[in-house]
Amino acid sequence: MFDFRIPEVSDREWMQPALTASGGMGSEFAFGTLYLWSDAYATKVCKTDDLILRCSGGPMRMTYQLPLGNGSMRDQVERLLADAKERGCKFRIWGLTKEQTEALEQEMPGKFRYQLDRASSDYIYDTQSLIQLSGRKYHSKRNHLSRFQRTYDWSYEDISPDNFKDCIAVARAWCEQNGGCGEEDGTDSENCAIHKAFKYYDALHLSGGLLRIEGKPVAFTVGEEINPETYLLHFEKALSGYEGLYPAINQAFAAQHLESYRYVNREEDLGIEGLRKAKLSYYPAIILEKYVVTLLEETPEIPEE
Protein backbone atom coordinates (compact mmCIF):
# COMPACT_ATOMS: atom_id res chain seq x y z
CA MET A 1 0.00 0.00 0.00
CA PHE A 2 1.33 3.42 -0.94
CA ASP A 3 2.10 5.77 1.95
CA PHE A 4 0.10 8.85 0.92
CA ARG A 5 0.29 12.03 2.99
CA ILE A 6 -0.97 15.63 2.90
CA PRO A 7 1.36 17.84 0.79
CA GLU A 8 3.46 20.57 2.37
CA VAL A 9 4.78 23.73 0.73
CA SER A 10 8.31 22.32 0.85
CA ASP A 11 7.21 19.45 -1.44
CA ARG A 12 7.23 21.87 -4.35
CA GLU A 13 11.02 21.57 -4.55
CA TRP A 14 10.93 17.94 -5.66
CA MET A 15 7.45 17.74 -7.18
CA GLN A 16 7.34 20.66 -9.62
CA PRO A 17 10.39 19.54 -11.65
CA ALA A 18 8.72 16.16 -12.18
CA LEU A 19 5.37 17.75 -13.01
CA THR A 20 7.06 20.07 -15.52
CA ALA A 21 9.13 17.29 -17.08
CA SER A 22 5.97 15.25 -17.72
CA GLY A 23 4.95 17.75 -20.42
CA GLY A 24 1.39 17.99 -19.10
CA MET A 25 -0.52 21.21 -19.78
CA GLY A 26 -3.41 20.65 -17.37
CA SER A 27 -3.88 22.61 -14.18
CA GLU A 28 -3.00 19.50 -12.15
CA PHE A 29 0.60 19.78 -13.39
CA ALA A 30 1.15 22.91 -11.33
CA PHE A 31 2.12 22.25 -7.73
CA GLY A 32 0.10 25.27 -6.64
CA THR A 33 -3.10 23.56 -7.79
CA LEU A 34 -2.31 20.49 -5.75
CA TYR A 35 -1.39 22.47 -2.63
CA LEU A 36 -3.93 25.30 -2.68
CA TRP A 37 -6.89 22.92 -3.10
CA SER A 38 -5.58 20.15 -0.85
CA ASP A 39 -8.08 20.97 1.91
CA ALA A 40 -11.05 21.03 -0.46
CA TYR A 41 -10.22 17.78 -2.25
CA ALA A 42 -8.29 15.90 0.46
CA THR A 43 -5.28 15.78 -1.87
CA LYS A 44 -2.35 13.58 -0.91
CA VAL A 45 1.04 12.73 -2.40
CA CYS A 46 3.53 9.89 -2.19
CA LYS A 47 7.13 9.51 -3.34
CA THR A 48 8.64 6.05 -3.88
CA ASP A 49 12.00 5.09 -5.35
CA ASP A 50 10.61 5.18 -8.88
CA LEU A 51 7.23 6.94 -8.78
CA ILE A 52 5.55 10.16 -7.71
CA LEU A 53 1.87 9.63 -6.95
CA ARG A 54 -1.10 11.93 -6.37
CA CYS A 55 -4.57 11.11 -5.15
CA SER A 56 -7.61 12.77 -3.61
CA GLY A 57 -10.49 11.73 -1.41
CA GLY A 58 -10.45 8.67 0.76
CA PRO A 59 -10.16 6.53 2.68
CA MET A 60 -12.86 4.51 0.92
CA ARG A 61 -13.21 6.66 -2.19
CA MET A 62 -9.73 7.20 -3.56
CA THR A 63 -9.26 9.00 -6.86
CA TYR A 64 -5.79 8.49 -8.32
CA GLN A 65 -3.92 10.36 -11.02
CA LEU A 66 -1.48 8.62 -13.33
CA PRO A 67 1.88 8.28 -11.57
CA LEU A 68 4.93 10.19 -12.70
CA GLY A 69 8.07 8.14 -13.14
CA ASN A 70 9.46 4.91 -14.50
CA GLY A 71 7.69 1.90 -15.95
CA SER A 72 5.02 1.35 -18.55
CA MET A 73 1.50 2.71 -18.20
CA ARG A 74 0.29 -0.85 -17.68
CA ASP A 75 2.72 -1.42 -14.82
CA GLN A 76 1.80 1.89 -13.18
CA VAL A 77 -1.94 1.26 -13.43
CA GLU A 78 -1.58 -2.30 -12.11
CA ARG A 79 0.20 -0.89 -9.07
CA LEU A 80 -2.68 1.53 -8.51
CA LEU A 81 -5.17 -1.33 -8.88
CA ALA A 82 -3.27 -3.29 -6.23
CA ASP A 83 -3.28 -0.29 -3.90
CA ALA A 84 -7.04 0.19 -4.29
CA LYS A 85 -7.68 -3.52 -3.69
CA GLU A 86 -5.56 -3.48 -0.53
CA ARG A 87 -7.50 -0.47 0.75
CA GLY A 88 -10.81 -2.09 -0.12
CA CYS A 89 -11.99 0.93 -2.14
CA LYS A 90 -13.31 1.44 -5.65
CA PHE A 91 -10.71 2.05 -8.34
CA ARG A 92 -10.82 5.43 -10.06
CA ILE A 93 -8.26 7.45 -12.04
CA TRP A 94 -8.96 11.05 -13.01
CA GLY A 95 -7.34 13.38 -15.52
CA LEU A 96 -6.35 11.19 -18.45
CA THR A 97 -6.33 12.83 -21.86
CA LYS A 98 -8.05 11.23 -24.84
CA GLU A 99 -4.67 10.02 -26.08
CA GLN A 100 -3.87 8.44 -22.72
CA THR A 101 -7.19 6.59 -22.61
CA GLU A 102 -6.46 5.16 -26.06
CA ALA A 103 -2.98 4.09 -24.97
CA LEU A 104 -4.34 2.46 -21.81
CA GLU A 105 -7.04 0.63 -23.77
CA GLN A 106 -4.34 -0.75 -26.07
CA GLU A 107 -2.26 -1.99 -23.14
CA MET A 108 -5.20 -3.31 -21.06
CA PRO A 109 -8.09 -3.90 -23.49
CA GLY A 110 -11.65 -4.39 -22.27
CA LYS A 111 -10.91 -3.69 -18.62
CA PHE A 112 -11.96 -0.06 -18.11
CA ARG A 113 -14.76 2.41 -18.72
CA TYR A 114 -13.68 5.88 -19.93
CA GLN A 115 -15.92 8.88 -19.26
CA LEU A 116 -15.31 12.48 -20.28
CA ASP A 117 -15.36 14.91 -17.35
CA ARG A 118 -16.24 17.96 -19.45
CA ALA A 119 -16.76 20.23 -16.43
CA SER A 120 -13.12 19.67 -15.40
CA SER A 121 -11.60 20.08 -18.88
CA ASP A 122 -9.18 23.01 -19.12
CA TYR A 123 -9.43 26.00 -21.46
CA ILE A 124 -6.04 26.77 -22.98
CA TYR A 125 -5.49 29.93 -25.01
CA ASP A 126 -2.91 31.28 -27.40
CA THR A 127 -1.09 33.94 -25.36
CA GLN A 128 -0.71 36.41 -28.20
CA SER A 129 -4.43 36.24 -28.88
CA LEU A 130 -5.14 37.24 -25.27
CA ILE A 131 -2.64 40.10 -25.48
CA GLN A 132 -3.42 41.47 -28.94
CA LEU A 133 -7.16 40.66 -29.18
CA SER A 134 -6.73 41.03 -32.92
CA GLY A 135 -9.11 39.89 -35.64
CA ARG A 136 -12.86 40.02 -36.13
CA LYS A 137 -13.68 37.41 -33.50
CA TYR A 138 -12.23 39.62 -30.75
CA HIS A 139 -14.01 42.76 -31.92
CA SER A 140 -16.36 42.92 -28.91
CA LYS A 141 -13.49 42.24 -26.48
CA ARG A 142 -11.50 45.13 -27.93
CA ASN A 143 -14.54 47.39 -27.63
CA HIS A 144 -15.06 46.46 -23.99
CA LEU A 145 -11.39 47.03 -23.24
CA SER A 146 -11.26 50.38 -25.07
CA ARG A 147 -14.41 51.57 -23.30
CA PHE A 148 -12.92 50.56 -19.94
CA GLN A 149 -9.66 52.41 -20.63
CA ARG A 150 -11.52 55.56 -21.71
CA THR A 151 -14.09 55.52 -18.92
CA TYR A 152 -12.05 54.88 -15.80
CA ASP A 153 -9.03 56.36 -14.08
CA TRP A 154 -7.31 53.00 -13.71
CA SER A 155 -3.86 51.67 -12.90
CA TYR A 156 -2.15 48.28 -12.97
CA GLU A 157 0.47 46.97 -10.54
CA ASP A 158 2.18 43.66 -9.90
CA ILE A 159 1.10 41.78 -6.81
CA SER A 160 3.58 41.93 -3.93
CA PRO A 161 3.39 41.74 -0.12
CA ASP A 162 2.56 45.45 -0.20
CA ASN A 163 -0.85 44.81 -1.77
CA PHE A 164 -1.79 41.31 -0.54
CA LYS A 165 -4.40 42.86 1.75
CA ASP A 166 -5.91 44.78 -1.17
CA CYS A 167 -6.30 41.54 -3.16
CA ILE A 168 -7.89 39.78 -0.20
CA ALA A 169 -10.26 42.76 0.16
CA VAL A 170 -11.31 42.31 -3.49
CA ALA A 171 -11.91 38.59 -2.90
CA ARG A 172 -14.03 39.38 0.17
CA ALA A 173 -16.04 42.05 -1.65
CA TRP A 174 -16.56 39.70 -4.60
CA CYS A 175 -18.04 37.13 -2.22
CA GLU A 176 -20.41 39.72 -0.76
CA GLN A 177 -21.52 40.79 -4.23
CA ASN A 178 -22.20 37.17 -5.16
CA GLY A 179 -24.25 36.14 -2.14
CA GLY A 180 -21.43 35.34 0.26
CA CYS A 181 -18.91 32.52 0.28
CA GLY A 182 -20.47 29.20 1.26
CA GLU A 183 -19.83 25.49 1.07
CA GLU A 184 -22.85 24.88 -1.17
CA ASP A 185 -21.34 26.49 -4.28
CA GLY A 186 -17.67 25.87 -3.51
CA THR A 187 -16.81 29.53 -2.94
CA ASP A 188 -15.84 28.86 0.68
CA SER A 189 -13.16 26.44 -0.53
CA GLU A 190 -12.00 28.95 -3.12
CA ASN A 191 -11.73 31.68 -0.50
CA CYS A 192 -9.59 29.35 1.62
CA ALA A 193 -7.37 28.61 -1.39
CA ILE A 194 -6.96 32.35 -2.08
CA HIS A 195 -5.83 33.01 1.49
CA LYS A 196 -3.31 30.15 1.24
CA ALA A 197 -2.03 31.59 -2.03
CA PHE A 198 -1.14 34.91 -0.42
CA LYS A 199 0.25 33.29 2.74
CA TYR A 200 2.69 31.19 0.69
CA TYR A 201 2.94 33.43 -2.36
CA ASP A 202 6.73 33.42 -2.78
CA ALA A 203 7.25 29.82 -1.67
CA LEU A 204 4.75 28.66 -4.31
CA HIS A 205 6.39 30.84 -7.00
CA LEU A 206 3.14 32.64 -7.76
CA SER A 207 2.78 35.89 -9.66
CA GLY A 208 -0.13 38.18 -10.38
CA GLY A 209 -1.53 41.60 -11.08
CA LEU A 210 -3.90 44.05 -9.40
CA LEU A 211 -6.09 46.72 -11.01
CA ARG A 212 -7.21 49.88 -9.23
CA ILE A 213 -9.81 52.45 -10.22
CA GLU A 214 -9.21 55.86 -8.66
CA GLY A 215 -6.88 54.11 -6.25
CA LYS A 216 -9.44 51.51 -5.12
CA PRO A 217 -8.49 47.84 -5.65
CA VAL A 218 -11.13 46.30 -7.92
CA ALA A 219 -9.62 43.23 -9.65
CA PHE A 220 -6.73 40.81 -9.38
CA THR A 221 -5.36 37.65 -10.98
CA VAL A 222 -2.86 35.09 -9.66
CA GLY A 223 -1.11 32.21 -11.38
CA GLU A 224 2.06 30.19 -11.86
CA GLU A 225 4.16 28.53 -14.54
CA ILE A 226 3.34 24.93 -15.44
CA ASN A 227 6.24 24.65 -17.86
CA PRO A 228 8.25 27.08 -20.03
CA GLU A 229 5.47 27.06 -22.66
CA THR A 230 2.37 27.18 -20.45
CA TYR A 231 1.23 29.54 -17.69
CA LEU A 232 -1.72 28.74 -15.42
CA LEU A 233 -4.16 31.28 -13.99
CA HIS A 234 -5.48 30.10 -10.62
CA PHE A 235 -7.71 33.03 -9.69
CA GLU A 236 -9.29 35.97 -11.49
CA LYS A 237 -11.62 38.18 -9.47
CA ALA A 238 -13.23 41.47 -10.53
CA LEU A 239 -15.89 43.51 -8.75
CA SER A 240 -19.21 44.21 -10.44
CA GLY A 241 -20.20 47.74 -11.40
CA TYR A 242 -17.28 48.39 -13.74
CA GLU A 243 -17.84 47.59 -17.41
CA GLY A 244 -14.99 45.67 -19.00
CA LEU A 245 -13.12 44.94 -15.77
CA TYR A 246 -12.54 41.23 -16.44
CA PRO A 247 -11.16 41.82 -19.95
CA ALA A 248 -8.99 44.60 -18.51
CA ILE A 249 -7.29 42.52 -15.79
CA ASN A 250 -6.96 39.57 -18.16
CA GLN A 251 -5.26 41.59 -20.90
CA ALA A 252 -3.15 43.78 -18.60
CA PHE A 253 -1.52 40.88 -16.78
CA ALA A 254 -0.96 38.90 -19.99
CA ALA A 255 0.66 41.92 -21.65
CA GLN A 256 2.91 42.59 -18.65
CA HIS A 257 4.07 39.07 -17.84
CA LEU A 258 3.02 36.31 -20.22
CA GLU A 259 4.64 37.38 -23.49
CA SER A 260 7.22 34.57 -23.27
CA TYR A 261 4.63 31.79 -22.92
CA ARG A 262 2.94 30.14 -25.86
CA TYR A 263 -0.19 29.18 -23.93
CA VAL A 264 -2.28 30.36 -21.00
CA ASN A 265 -4.39 27.79 -19.14
CA ARG A 266 -7.46 29.44 -17.57
CA GLU A 267 -8.70 26.23 -15.95
CA GLU A 268 -12.13 24.59 -16.14
CA ASP A 269 -15.72 25.84 -16.20
CA LEU A 270 -17.05 23.52 -13.44
CA GLY A 271 -20.10 22.86 -15.62
CA ILE A 272 -21.40 26.38 -14.92
CA GLU A 273 -23.21 27.60 -18.04
CA GLY A 274 -22.26 31.28 -17.67
CA LEU A 275 -18.63 30.47 -16.97
CA ARG A 276 -18.48 28.11 -19.95
CA LYS A 277 -19.92 30.80 -22.21
CA ALA A 278 -17.38 33.35 -20.93
CA LYS A 279 -14.43 31.02 -21.46
CA LEU A 280 -15.58 30.04 -24.95
CA SER A 281 -15.93 33.73 -25.86
CA TYR A 282 -12.12 34.01 -25.76
CA TYR A 283 -11.80 31.22 -28.37
CA PRO A 284 -9.53 28.66 -26.70
CA ALA A 285 -6.80 27.13 -28.83
CA ILE A 286 -7.30 23.86 -26.92
CA ILE A 287 -10.03 22.46 -24.72
CA LEU A 288 -7.97 19.92 -22.81
CA GLU A 289 -10.43 17.09 -22.23
CA LYS A 290 -10.00 15.02 -19.08
CA TYR A 291 -11.34 11.53 -18.58
CA VAL A 292 -12.27 9.40 -15.59
CA VAL A 293 -11.24 5.73 -15.69
CA THR A 294 -13.14 3.10 -13.71
CA LEU A 295 -13.36 -0.68 -13.85
CA LEU A 296 -16.10 -1.92 -16.17
CA GLU A 297 -17.76 -3.91 -13.40
CA GLU A 298 -18.08 -0.82 -11.16
CA THR A 299 -20.83 1.80 -11.37
CA PRO A 300 -19.93 4.94 -13.38
CA GLU A 301 -19.86 8.21 -11.43
CA ILE A 302 -19.66 10.93 -14.11
CA PRO A 303 -22.96 11.63 -15.90
CA GLU A 304 -22.79 11.94 -19.66
CA GLU A 305 -23.27 15.52 -20.97
- Length of the chain measured in residues: 305
Long-range contacts of 53-62 (CB under 8 A, 24+ apart): 53/2, 53/4, 53/80, 54/28, 55/4, 56/94, 58/4, 58/87, 58/89, 59/87, 59/89, 60/87, 60/88, 60/89, 60/90, 61/89, 61/90, 61/92, 62/87, 62/89, 62/90, 62/92
Domain locations along the chain: 9-121+289-295, 123-287
Query: Which of 105, 233, 230, 246 has its CA nearest to residue 174?
Result: 246
**pLDDT score at 65:** 98
Q: State what percent of residues in the chain have pLDDT above 90.
A: 90
pLDDT at 195: 96
Q: What is residue 231's predicted lDDT score, i.e. its pLDDT?
A: 98
Query: d(Cα 44, Cα 210) in Å, to the nearest integer?
Result: 32
**What is the separation of C-alpha 158 from the centre of its chain, rounded to a whole number of angstroms?**
21
Query: Does the pLDDT of residue 181 top 60, yes or no?
Result: yes
Task: Find out whether 302 and 117 touch, Cβ atoms under 8 Å.
Answer: yes
- Report, as an integer, the average pLDDT of 68-74: 92
The answer as to CATH 3.30.70.3270 being correct for domain 9-121+289-295 is no
Q: Pick from 250, 294, 286, 292: which is nearest to 268 by CA?
A: 286
Quick one: fold of 123-287?
A: Aminopeptidase (3.40.630)
* Res 302 pLDDT > 80: no
Global pTM? 0.94
Fold agreement between 9-121+289-295 and 123-287: yes
The string of pLDDT tens digits covering residues 108-166 is 999 999 999 999 999 999 999 999 999 999 999 999 999 999 999 999 999 999 999 99
Distances (CA, A) of 282 to 36, 261, 276, 288: 26, 17, 10, 15
Q: What is the mean pLDDT of residues 71-76?
A: 94
Residue 30 scores a pLDDT above 90: yes
Per-residue pLDDT for 240 more than 60?
yes
pLDDT at 303 over 90: no
* Cα dihedral across residues 154, 155, 156, 160: positive or negative: negative
Across 227-255, b (16+ Cβ under 10 Å) vs e yields beebbbbbbbbbbeebebbbbbbbbbbbe
Average pLDDT (72-79) is: 96
Could you tell me the pLDDT band of residue 61, with boundaries at 50, 70 and 90? confident
